[in-house]
Amino acid sequence: MFDLVIRNGTVIDGSGAPRRIADVAVQGNRIAAVGPKLGAGRREIDAEGLIVAPGFVDIHTHYDGQATWDPFVTPSSWHGVTTTVFGNCGVGFAPVRPGASGYLINLMEGVEDIPGTVLSEGVKFNWESFPDYLDALASMDRAVDVAAQLPHGALRFYVMGDRGADHAEVPTEREIDEMARLTEEALLAGAMGFTTSRTTKHKARDGRFTPSLSAREAELLGIAQGMRRAGRGVLQVNSDFGPGEFEALDSAAKLAGRPLSCLLVQVDAQPQLWRETLDQINAVRRTGRVANAQVGSRPIGVIMGLETTAHPFAGHRAWLDMRRLSPQERYARLLADAELRRVLTEGQQDPNPRAFMAEAFHKMFPIGERPDYEPDSKDSIAAIAQRTGRTPQAVALEEMMARGGKGLLMLPFENYAYGNLDVVHEMITDPGSVLGIADGGAHVGVICDASSPTSLLTLWGRDRTRGPKLDLEFLIAKQTRGTAEAYGLMDRGLLAPGHKADINVIDFDSLALKRPEVTYDLPTGGRRLVQRASGYRHTFNAGVETMQNDELTGERPGRLVRGAQAAK
């Protein structure tokens, strides 16, 4: 008798093969059989009319801190994710010298918009080396499996101190050798890879660029030697890909003999640069080496409301005058004070770092009960203002004040240069791409893309009206076996005997994303954007049910994954 049998479901097994009606049997933490009319189970689930798919594998998250205090790793666990990989983009919390955690918090707060007070309270820093950090992660059971990568920023600061953060000096030969040694140590202890950031978008909270931005080729090649000696791990990169940059990174990956994984988005200022980079990645692939582009499945959207980090009035003097008020007090004042609303919507906007948001009403959209991730320009704040004879500022403020001050806007600032998702379609369908920029756990007051596995299926598999859809078999394979293989996690992402029993049972007809919302459930009452879904009937990790009817069960079968995993 099997421990569990999921009967008569529409099995989409993660391989890309056509769907079929079949049973899925589980014994212990592994899939025992997939086929028609399997034997009895101690528990049986009738999945007729439902999709049965592997658990989703999200390889680009930033739960480095949250995974040390939150056993449920939300919001990813609400969206069918059973494995997360963090430590991306060169930022993280190990290695760290005793008493030096302040800089890593400062860096994470600036790069990934996670409040420093939250990290100071939530992350205990009861480790120094990267292997120590992995041991700390392994000490907590979770609803999902977690895996970590070694971040260049933390490594450089650990070895060079403030010299590694200030960009004034290059590391000595001895320091490069030490970085290589620590990289080898981390990978042998179970790090999934080494990650670096080479983009000017990444700054610490104090305004300094991320440490790895100024790392020269000698440093990259030295670290690559450590990867080569370890013989494992992925080289993950976030870069602006200026002249010669891809070649330098590829040289490091080639020397390391390891896969190269590059974050890839379309930016408005250079809307074709992504294609040049993807061409370079595919040229590497044609030589027989392993390389991929980590791409998203929807626009990178800034979420704006009265309680979020950014919105069109964030730099306005009248808004700043209310910064010490609670969200409820600010809303009450706005509601009662017509003159304040007039000043905000008609007065001169003060220059500020987010001034572009006050001029981007043509790309700013209200978020409805069913969020639209491919909005039409005719539905923008600017278009609504023109139709109704009001200013865009007045429309934006009214939308944010809706729902008792909980109204939200979305500004797609990457992957949406042409006002549709045709470019994203090209990215997703390119054989050189993997899904990988959902950023769960990061940008908590600005972006809410951890829900991307759900919108991947609903938008591309069912709801898209402005261009071609994609087969569910392809989409599920992309988010399961494709992402798992990218990190050598060969024991998951596939419904086949011997593989880990990570399973989603989905009511696809009712699968839907809810509106994002602002909550205050981080340590110290810290704020974050979250987003729920409906349609997940059951989610299993290692054969243990972690979600039932869209709610967590409280079970914690998830473990730390150390390095690549072979199917058993």
CATH 3.30.450.90 fits 57-299+416-486, yes or no: no
- Residue 348: what pLDDT? 55
- Residue 17: what pLDDT? 98
In the chain, residues under CATH classification 2.30.40.10 are: 2-54+501-552
Q: 81 has which bridge partners?
A: 56
- Whether residue 516 has a cis bond before it, omega within 30° of 0: no
- Residue 384: what pLDDT? 97
What sign does the CA torsion over 474, 480, 484, 489 have? Answer: negative
| Closest C-alpha among 266, 262, 272, 277 to residue 299 | 266
> Global pTM?
0.96
- Residue 358: what pLDDT? 56
Q: 138 has which bridge partners?
A: none
Q: d(Cα 75, Cα 449) in Å, to the nearest integer?
A: 10
Query: Which residue carries 């610490």 as its tokens?
Result: 204
**175 Cβ partners below 8 Å, 6+ apart?**
159, 160
- Residue 347: what pLDDT? 59
- Residue 353: what pLDDT? 43
Topology of domain 2-54+501-552, CATH: Urease, subunit C; domain 1 (2.30.40)
Q: Where are the beta strands (DSSP E) in 137-192?
A: 145-148, 150-151
Q: d(Cα 392, Cα 411) in Å, to the nearest integer?
A: 14
Q: d(Cα 562, Cα 62) in Å, to the nearest integer?
A: 17
- Residue 568: what pLDDT? 72
Give the pair of three-digit tokens for residue 333.
Answer: 């004042």
- Residue 270: what pLDDT? 94
Give the pair of three-digit tokens for residue 141.
Answer: 């059971």
Q: d(Cα 456, Cα 433) in Å, to the nearest integer?
A: 15
Question: What is the block-wise mean pLDDT of the chain (568 residues), using blocks of 10 residues?
Answer: 98 98 98 98 98 98 97 98 97 97 94 91 97 98 98 98 93 98 98 96 91 94 98 97 94 98 96 96 98 97 94 90 94 96 76 56 95 97 96 95 97 96 98 96 94 98 98 98 98 98 98 97 95 98 98 98 92
